[in-house]
Amino acid sequence: MIMKKMILLSLLTLFLFSCKTTEDSTTAEIEPVEQRDEEAVLIESAETETIVTEEPEVSEKEGIEVSEDLYKKTFDEIEDLINQVTQLIRKRNFNGWKKFLSENYIEMVGSAEHLRKVSESPSLKDVIELRNLRDYFQWVVVPSRANAKLDEIIFKDEEHVTAYMYIDDNRTILFQFEIIDGMWKITIW
């Protein structure tokens, strides 16, 4: 079961962070495609590539309900954090971006196996072979997250939150966050 989750997480991460977007992704025409359970599907149009993640409906097992006050407080904190991270991404500030990452994220996303899988994605296959986290930032994060905008958060628990953006009514994962040493960090669980 743990191995299956790790494989699904790797696939999700691979596809989630291997997209390119244009500055105004809300105006891109996205063609409907058949989607598979728990896997991201690459949707291509003439101007942009966007990852749309099929997410099952949130049930009590997938997220918890929290008070309106806690939701608003956390939403505001995460929105501010995403705005800070997005500014760093736009400036291509790798070291600044890296300060917002959990050790788990750095370890998993920067692993040779993960970088190899991302390098084999359609958008990078004939362009570059990612060798390290800096390459991943330059070739995956910058093109795919430079225009991130928070629309919704879902609590796994009070210390783990998934941030979403809607693209043409499709809920797309932006980041997963975890409170580490009293601060929200971008992570993978």
Query: What is the per-residue DSSP string for 74-105?
Result: HHHHHHHHHHHHHHHHHTT-HHHHHTTB-HHH
What's the half-sphere exposure (Cβ side, CA atoms, 13 Å) at 110? 13
What is the token pair recorded at 87?
A: 């500014």
State yes or no: pLDDT of 60 exceeds 80. Answer: no
Q: Which of 51-60, 76-85, 118-127, 151-160 shows the lowest per-residue confidence on average (mean pLDDT)?
A: 51-60
- Residue whose structure tokens are 């997209």: 19
Give residues with Cβ within 8 angstroms of 22, minimum separation 6: 28, 47, 48
pTM: 0.67
Give residues with Cβ within 8 angstroms of 98, minimum separation 6: 106, 133, 137
Q: How confident is the model at residue 68 (pLDDT cuts 50, 70, 90)?
A: very high
Q: How confident is the model at residue 189 (pLDDT cuts 50, 70, 90)?
A: confident
Q: Which of 11-15, 65-69, 88-92, 150-154 shows the lowest per-residue confidence on average (mean pLDDT)?
A: 11-15
State yes or no: pLDDT of 139 exceeds 70. Answer: yes
The confidence score (pLDDT) of residue 27 equals 35
Question: Which structural domain, as residue segments, surrounds residue 14?
Answer: 2-55+62-187
Domain total of the chain: 1
Q: Is 110 helix (H, G, I), strand (E, B) or coil?
A: coil
What are the φ and ψ backbone dihedral angles of 23, each rounded to 5 degrees?
-60, -35
State yes or no: pLDDT of 35 exceeds 50. Answer: no
The confidence score (pLDDT) of residue 141 equals 96
Name the average pLDDT for the chain: 76
